[in-house]
Structure 1
Amino acid sequence: MFTRAVSRLSRKRPPSEINDSDGKPGSSQQTLKGTSRWTTSLENLLEDPEGVKRFREFLKKEFSEENVLFWLACEEFKKMQDKKQMQEKAKEIYMTFLSSKASCQVNVEGQSRLNETILEEPHPLMFQKLQDQIFNLMKYDSYSRFLKSDIFLKHKRAEEQEENSSEAQSVAKRASRIYNT
């Protein structure tokens, strides 16, 4: 009887509105956290500060950390409004990642490299083509290896252990409330 009532309720409401026994929303793509969310896309990984930290750690071991650093610098650059700040950041990005003398040179197609003269009139999307190249390089090369790496797998196990521990504590608290009333 109870199962049929729950079944009817869940048919009437979207899954995102159905709560589990803790009163928290049911699991869906939007409520995935941590490593589960990272596995759905590189975009989701890059939106999570902890994901970026772990991905950087992995890329550092692969000697390609400059890729994610360049991508992050471009994201920051696109959000800038002040022209003077944009000029400074554009020059910094160029000197750090794109110049032939760059300290952390990224591997982009030669014809796509920017000329220093373009740095005088920066615009938010001036690095977009290069950023897309690096994103695709990470997405189709590094990202899949990251998901199989020890760094990712250890973090995932730790996250699962923490989750299982908190679920066990939650069950114990509910049980003690039931039996102590």
Structure 2
Amino acid sequence: MFNRAVSRLSRKRPPSDIHDRDGSSSSSHQNLKSTTKWATSLENLLEDPEGVKRFREFLKKEFSEENVLFWLACEDFKKMQDKRQMQEKAKEIYMTFLSSKASSQVNVEGQSQLNEKILEEPHPLMFQKLQDQIFNLMKYDSYSRFLKSDLFLKHRRTEDEEEDLPDTQTAAKRASRTYNT
């Protein structure tokens, strides 16, 4: 079982280069009703850049943003092919999230089994067990609160309002046909 009572108030934010996957913000106009997909599963939420952005905003307010940042860093790590890059990224993940001196330490069992010696021979799934723990922590703790949060509900209302607005371009075409006949 996870010790969820760890205080996260004194932690510093990790460097931004390890976190942002796309570096851009997507618009809810691209995927109307994305909140419906987000509410279906945490997996769907984490597959949508806008969902990740909103979830991060929520976790930041709860002082637990490091959880999703660690999960994202592990996802990026698993896609790496080059051994040198893997070594650098593994060390970065370890130093940012897992070491006793980590700037944004995550609360997982087994992190003490990892040491810098292991980082010399990285493999794509070396963080998988820890990543799964964080995923489950988010799924059964933070995610359910996110779905009830003002941040999520406001975004859902905005989507609903946008869906109810008439498509002005279509209305203009209809008006044009009316006057041209």
TM-score calculated relative to the size of structure 1:
0.76
Q: Retained in 2: the 8 A contact 1:59–1:142?
A: yes
Once the two structures are TM-superposed, the CA of residue 168 in structure 1 deviates from its matched residue by: 5.0
Alignment of 1:82-161 (within 5 A): 82-110=82-110, 113-161=113-161
Comparing both structures, which one devotes a greater share of its residues to helix? 1
1:115 CA drift (Å): 2.1
> Could you say what the CA RMSD is over the residues aligned between the two structures, in angstroms?
1.9
Flag the 1:127–1:111 CA change in 2: closer, same or farther, 3 A. Answer: closer
Shift of 1:160: 1.5
Name the count of aligned residue pairs.
Answer: 150
How many Å apart are 1:91 and its aligned residue?
Answer: 0.2
Structure of larger gyration radius: 1
Structure 1 CA distance for aligned equivalents of residues 65 and 113 of structure 2: 19
Letter in 1 for 2:43: E
Separation in 2 of the partners of 1:177 and 1:140?
Answer: 53
State percent identity of aligned pairs: 80
2:171 is aligned to 172
Q: Distance in 1 between matches of 2:144 and 2:172?
A: 40
Q: Quick check: 2:32–2:163 contact (8 Å CA) kept in 1?
A: no
For the 8 Å contact 1:37–1:45, the answer to whether it is kept is: yes
Q: What is the CA distance between 1:172 and its match in structure 2?
A: 3.2
Q: What are structure 2's unaligned runs of at least 5 residues? A: 1-30
Question: Following TM superposition, by how much is the alpha carbon of 1:171 offset from its aligned partner in structure 2, in angstroms?
Answer: 6.2
